[in-house]
Structure 1
Amino acid sequence: MKAPELSVILPAFNEAKNIPLIVDKIAAVMGDTPFEVIVVDDDSPDGTADVTRSIGREKPYVRCVKRINRRGLSGACIEGMMAANAPVVVVMDADMQHDETRLPVMLAEIRDGADLVIGSRYVDGGAASSGFVKKSRAKGSELATALANRITGAYTTDPMSGFFMMTRDVADRAARVVSRDGFKILFDIVSRFGHDLKIREVPFQFRERVEGESKLGFLVTVQFLGLLISRYTGGFIPVKFLLYGLVGFTGLFVHMATLLLLNASFGVGFATAQIVATFAAMTSNFAFNNEVTYAHRKLTGWRFVTGLLTFYIICGIGALANVSISVRLFEWDWSAALAGFAGALMSAVFNYAVTKLVTWRDT
């Protein structure tokens, strides 16, 4: 085998039926160009990793990176890039929505001096709507692109594309700083490095997926909005902290609804109702954070139970610190509103930082 000139990164979750098809399609278009295919599997229950390894025994240019207890497209892309041997890497979907026939064209642009080549749905010759079964999803994609363009500017027409090729140098730079959360790694890369990269675009037709179900949904939308706000602040506010704060805001509604229901409707004493409401809010916050903020390290089974217990303890300590600091600030002639806000903010930062390291062990 020759050393690969191109590493094709295929992030995958439940793509067992598509992997054999996309591998053959890629091989058919690459001709004499040496390449490798790296399937980054997020521990798919459908046996995606087993299928990939079986193919690799017959086709040595196919490899599998299986991630355990980690989820998320951006993180999968980064791990695939770091496992790649070639001087050029490309990320594309395993579901065949991205046009593999554009790979040689994109590689030619890299050879011609480009740092980053983007498969765009919005330049002449490209199309996006054919890949979306529902018109609402197509409109949502257009809206997300418009919002992203307010940050990335004129660097690209399609900052939300999941089909892009870059040099090893760009991949190494991106791996150190881009968010591991969410699904829109290209937007993160362009918003950070677009000003000093030679970026070119290649049109492609976005196609319907062949097998399986789309991974887009509410979680992806929330994570993208968090990333969008984070990039608007220049990365000053981490994406996870924004998501954590959003979840905490929903906990306020859970707390008040539980308190009023028990106290006003069932006549439970205020103190008892307040305690129950507090635990109800902490429980809902833990569950939502487990599904949204830390979806890539989602706790299940017994780990869910132990995680909930540590969450209770840490948030309890945060609540005590909240009260102590806000009371002290109020005694120093701060207004009640400002003292209360400062205590709540400190508590939120403490809870986020400690639960991140202890409950979800996310470093």
Structure 2
Amino acid sequence: MAEQRSEPGVELSVILPTYNERDNISALVTRLHSCLQGIEWEAIFVDDDSQDGTADRVREIARADRRVRVLHRVGRRGLASACIEGMLSSSAPYLAVMDADLQHDEQLLPAMLTALKADSLDMAIGSRYVPGGSTGAWSADRAFASRFATRLSEWILKTPLQDPMSGFFMLRRDILHEALPNLSAIGFKILLDIISSTKQVLRVRELPYTFRARQAGESKLDSMVIWEYLMLLLDKSLGRYVPVRFIPFAMIGGLGVFVHMAVLWLAFQGAGFSFAVGQGIAALVAMTSNFFINNLFTYRDRRLEGWGLVKGWISFSIACSIGAISNVGIATYLFEANTAGWISSALIGIVVGAVWNYAVTSVYTWSKPKAA
């Protein structure tokens, strides 16, 4: 019987979350080959079902290069969750995360690995804000926003950092597994998520690099990045007490009250409909507005589209109608039984209705997609 030859395992996995980055893939793989000579490495592209064929381009390269592979996610979105899935798919003891748009300096990867191994560090971070680092050609507005976000991060950070907003870092696998049970997986700031999820203060070194200009494709930064960052901060500070999604869900529900009253006034006072008809129209409009705003913000990572949007609206409306009945029924019972005053009864009814609406719609309207 022929003896099986064993090959050395992968020492370093480079995790690369992608969305519409097809034109950058070949250049990035070439650069990784150039800078990681002498290291057993692999590149794991985690693609959120790009429409430009990013995953197909990675597969083309992977057929000729065993160091390259792709995780193609369908129905799941978000940089943080993509990075987590990519890291968990690896067996390497060292894990690096970087963007696939060529803005992070891949030449820093060997220095990161050396620092982790030689100095017994938990994490090495590519930093734009330590001496020698730079944000490159950033506008003044973007530089200010990054600095402001950095100051906000001090609210939840356990390990002091100059650049906690960096998306370019390397860590030991055991640190990932320590943080894993507490990860929020919200938005883009996976480094901040990991550092604030560990029980210990990490041994970290920040290495300087210059943030490069994008060469191809379009930036993914938009106003929703700010929203998701705020949700991450809320989850890290309040998530142990209340689900973070419930906070915007309840706020949007409060906005729905104003929508309801405005539509009721227009229908009843303005258009001359009966109060019952006006109330029905107002309730339908308020529920519809709440549904679309929640779909846009609260459940951005599970956003419904196409036919799913229609089915989601139906299930949301049914759930909220039941919630409204529960609200009125419980409040009325408490008041008529002299258990509470009218204000307390009303508030308890509102809370019960809101919790019901959130719990049911999170399961049936915006259910977690099955792994693909």
Global fold match (TM > 0.5): yes
**Residue 125 (structure 2) aligns with:** 118
Backbone CA RMSD of aligned residues:
1.9
**Residue 355 (structure 1) aligns with:** 361
1 or 2, which has the higher helix percentage? Answer: 1
Q: Alignment partner of 1:156: what SS?
A: coil
Q: Which moved more, 1:224-233 or 1:329-338?
A: 329-338
- Which residue identity does 1:158 align to in structure 2? D
**For residues 179 and 34 of structure 1, do their structure 2 counterparts lie closer, same or farther at Cα, with a shift above 3 Å needed?**
same
**Residue 70 (structure 1) aligns with:** 76
Deviation at 1:100, TM superposition (A): 0.9
Quick check: 1:214 aligned with 2:219? yes
1:237-275 CA deviation, whole Å, 9 max, x = no partner?
Answer: 322222322332332333233223323332333322221
| Structure 2, gaps ≥5 residues long | 1-6
Q: Distance in 2 between matches of 1:265 and 1:136?
A: 45
Q: Distance in 1 between matches of 2:111 and 2:285?
A: 55
Q: Distance in 2 between matches of 1:242 and 1:186?
A: 24
**Residue 96 (structure 1) aligns with:** 102
- Which residue identity does 1:21 align to in structure 2? A
**Residue 317 (structure 2) aligns with:** 312
Is the 8 Å Cα contact of residues 180 and 197 (structure 2) preserved in structure 1?
no
Question: 1, 20, 37: which is aligned to 1:31?
Answer: 37
| Structure 1, gaps ≥5 residues long | none
Is the 8 Å Cα contact of residues 126 and 206 (structure 2) preserved in structure 1?
yes
**For residues 211 and 245 of structure 1, do their structure 2 counterparts lie closer, same or farther at Cα, with a shift above 3 Å needed?**
farther
Question: 10, 16, 24: which is aligned to 1:4?
Answer: 10
Question: 230, 251, 255: which is aligned to 1:250?
Answer: 255
Q: Distance in 2 between matches of 1:131 and 1:79?
A: 32
Q: Distance in 1 between matches of 2:108 and 2:310?
A: 48
Matched length: 361
TM-score by length of 1: 0.93
Q: Distance in 2 between matches of 1:121 and 1:234?
A: 30
Deviation at 1:45, TM superposition (A): 0.6
Is the 8 Å Cα contact of residues 326 and 353 (structure 2) preserved in structure 1?
yes
Q: Distance in 2 between matches of 1:154 and 1:82?
A: 24
**Residue 86 (structure 1) aligns with:** 92
Is the 8 Å Cα contact of residues 155 and 190 (structure 1) preserved in structure 2?
no
Q: Alignment partner of 1:239: what SS?
A: coil
- Which protein is bigger by CA-based radius of gyration? 2
Quick check: 1:266 aligned with 2:271? yes
Q: Which moved more, 1:293-302 or 1:325-334?
A: 325-334
**Residue 16 (structure 1) aligns with:** 22
**For residues 279 and 12 of structure 1, do their structure 2 counterparts lie closer, same or farther at Cα, with a shift above 3 Å needed?**
same
Q: Distance in 1 between matches of 2:40 and 2:346?
A: 62
Quick check: 1:179 aligned with 2:184? yes
Q: Alignment partner of 2:196: what SS?
A: helix
